[in-house]
Chains A and B, each alone.
Chain A
Amino acid sequence: MSEWWSYRLGSFLLFSQRTYGSLVASYNAELWPLQTVLVTLGLAALVVAGRSRSPLHARWVWLLLGGAWCWVAWAFHFSRFSTINWAAPTLAWVFALQGLALLWAGAVRPGLVFQPRSPARSALGVGVVVVALLAWPLVGLGLGRPWAQAESFGSFPDPTAIATLGFLTLAPRAPAWLMAIPLAAGALGLAMAWALQAAAA
């Protein structure tokens, strides 16, 4: 890509906010009420990560997270986002890879537990997970979008990535490489959201 400096974030947008919002609303309507189940499971996982020292309980948390990434890969990226974004199939593979990595590192291999950890680490991790599970769906409302376009954990990339970063923070022995894709996905999602909002302004 020559003259890369002449490109803005908006140069990479393939679709309008209206089109993306319509796709999100349609996806939510098809999934309902699975979103509430997934967020509830996420909250239960947070309780487990916050209190339990059991390796078996920890495995269930990583099973949930790995499964969520695989679900988002197929249900959102591959099946729906790909209809307006030719890069979505690639994103689907990346999300599936992260899902499998979490399943392998946390659910298959022993030892990725949530204790012991410092109070600061606890506060940070819990805070990030709470934002992803409870606050993120409200962001769209704050921007004037309808509730039908709310993005929630386990169904959409951004809150799933952010929640995962929170859970990884709560696991002191989590390898740093497990954070790479969630960080990149979160950054990409925020960039896209910013560009869409700017284009719609």
Chain B
Amino acid sequence: MPLPLHSTDRRTLLRHGLMLGAAGMLPAHAQPRREPPPPASQPSASASASASPAPAPAAVATVRTRPIPGSAEPLPLVGLGSWITFNVGNDPAARAQCADVMQAFFSAGGKLIDCSPMYGSSQEVIGHGLRSRGTLARVFSADKVWVSPAARGPAQIDTSASRWGVPRFDLLQVHNLLSWEDHLVTLFAMKAAGRLRYVGISTSEGRRHAELEQIMRSQPLDFVQLTYSLRDRRVEERILPLAQERGIAVIANRPFEQGDLLRTLARHPLPAWAAELQCGSWAQFALKFVISHPAVTCAIPATTRVDHVRENLAAATGRLPDAAARARMAAHTDKLL
């Protein structure tokens, strides 16, 4: 299934045409991200935050899903993170921009949004976005409990739900394994009582993997969230196979390493064979690598831009690399990084 075609950007044509002396030629190089299509009108800078987002491409391919092992519920392969990007405080323009991103995310086929009480005002900004755009019914709400002692967990969870505006969360994760033993007791009890659908734990940047593995072996978890990217593939050796063995869904955070991976890759041309994988940019190349691992249920890149969120969801459409292609992708980028 082909990727949705994005309209040729006149600015891109002019720039590359001047470089190559051949109008209409688009070299596949040095684009961490695709150029956004030209807007129908040019809003002023002051109005841009409140203007409606640029219309989505006309042909929107279906976003691939993967079943949550415990329930077979299909989950789109790309979700939306909110670390830093949605912590914008009370700034009305910034909140509107985040709401635009969320609206575009849902329109493009996304469902899971991930957050945590640790992320500052992100929970409230998500709640604002869900209410203001009427998308509460479309979200798969994934949040975390992050407090010690664990006795304070239920109150924090209630506060989080209030900020989101949800009656209950779809998924709650113990953030960075803080007081995990007692928090898991709370979360499993909530699940048994029907006040929570899924239980998980989270880590990031490769920390505490030994302990994570131990918890995955001993606890009936539904989800585990961890860092997995084209550059950081540590989890491939033990954690991802263990998740498959135990029937635990995997959420991959930091697929772009907060943009650092893409900035590094942008110094190099996208390989010509990336087109065979329907990758139009390094972002899609990096994201397809992550979501093509059979153990990964959902990756959660974060962004403040509507065009980027659409590009991210587009990576979950069309062709996904098989094992041989994944090996080729990893080998190629290892030489670059």
Contact indicator A3/B207 (Cβ below 8 Å): yes
CA distance in complex: A16, B121 (Å): 13
Q: Closest residue of chain A to B88, judged by CB? A: A19
Contacts of A13 on B, CB cut-off 8 Å? 84
**B85 and A16 within 8 A (CB):** yes
**B161 CB-CB contact with A under 8 Å:** no
- Please tell me if the beta carbons of B84 and A16 are within 8 angstroms of each other in the complex: yes
Stretch touching chain A among B89-97, B186-194, B237-245, B311-319: B89-97
A contact residues, total (Cβ < 8 Å): 18
- Across-interface contacts of B205 in A (CB, < 8 A): 6, 11
Report, as a range, how many residues of chain B touch the other chain. 10 to 19
Question: Is residue A85 contacting chain B, with contact meaning CB distance below 8 A?
Answer: yes
Write the B66-99 contact mask toward A (1 if CB under 8 angstroms, else 0): 0000000000000000001101111100100000
B283 CB → nearest A CB, Å: 18
Whether A22 contacts B207 by the Cβ 8 Å rule is no
As a 0/1 sequence over residues 68 to 108 of chain A, the CB contacts with chain B under 8 angstroms (1 = contact) are 00000000000000011110000000000000000000000
Given A2-B207, A6-B207, A23 contacting B120 (CB threshold 8 A): no
Query: Quick one: given A6-B205, A6-B207, A22-B94, are A199 and B258 in contact (CB under 8 Å)?
Result: yes
Q: Is the Cβ of A14 less than 8 Å from the Cβ of B84?
A: yes
Query: Closest residue to A11 on the B side, CB-wise?
Result: B205
Q: Please, what's the 1-or-0 string for B92-123, where 1 marks a CB less than 8 Å from any CB in chain A?
A: 00100000000000000000000001111100
A26 interface residue per 8 A CB criterion? yes
The answer to whether B206 touches A6, judged by C-beta atoms less than 8 angstroms apart, is yes
B88 touches A14 (CB 8 A): no
Interfacial chain A residues near B120, Cβ < 8 Å: 14-15, 83-86
What's the minimum C-beta distance from A44 to chain B, rounded to whole angstroms? 34
Complex Cα–Cα for A84 and B87 (A): 6
Contact between B207 and A19 (Cβ–Cβ < 8 Å)?
no
Does B328 make an interface contact (CB < 8 A)?
no
A19 touches B208 (CB 8 A): no
Question: In the docked arrangement, what's the CA distance between A26 and B89, Å?
Answer: 12
Q: A86 to chain B: which residues have CB within 8 Å? A: 117-118, 120
A13 to B85, CA, bound (A): 11
Chain A 15-39 interface residues, beta-carbon cutoff 8 Å to B = 15-16, 19, 22-23, 26
Q: Return the chain B residue nearest A13 by Cβ.
A: B84
The CA of A105 and the CA of B170, in the complex, are separated in Å by 55
Q: In the assembled complex, which residues on chain B have CB atoms less than 8 Å from the CB atom of A26?
A: 91
CB neighbours (8 Å) of B119 from chain A are 14
Add 15 more A-B contacts to A19-B84, A19-B89, A86-B118 (CB < 8 A): A2-B207, A6-B205, A10-B258, A11-B205, A14-B118, A15-B87, A15-B88, A16-B84, A16-B87, A22-B88, A22-B91, A83-B120, A84-B87, A84-B89, A199-B258
Closest 6 pairs (CB-CB, A-B): A83-B89, A84-B89, A14-B120, A3-B207, A15-B87, A84-B120
Q: Which residues of B pack against A, CB within 8 Å?
A: 84-85, 87-91, 94, 117-121, 205-208, 258
Q: What are 22 A-B pairs with beta-carbon distances under 8 A?
A: A3-B207, A6-B205, A11-B205, A14-B87, A14-B118, A14-B119, A14-B120, A15-B84, A15-B87, A15-B88, A16-B87, A19-B84, A19-B87, A19-B89, A19-B91, A23-B91, A26-B91, A83-B89, A84-B87, A84-B120, A86-B117, A86-B118
Residue positions of A touching B, CB distance < 8 A: 2-3, 6, 10-11, 13-16, 19, 22-23, 26, 83-86, 199
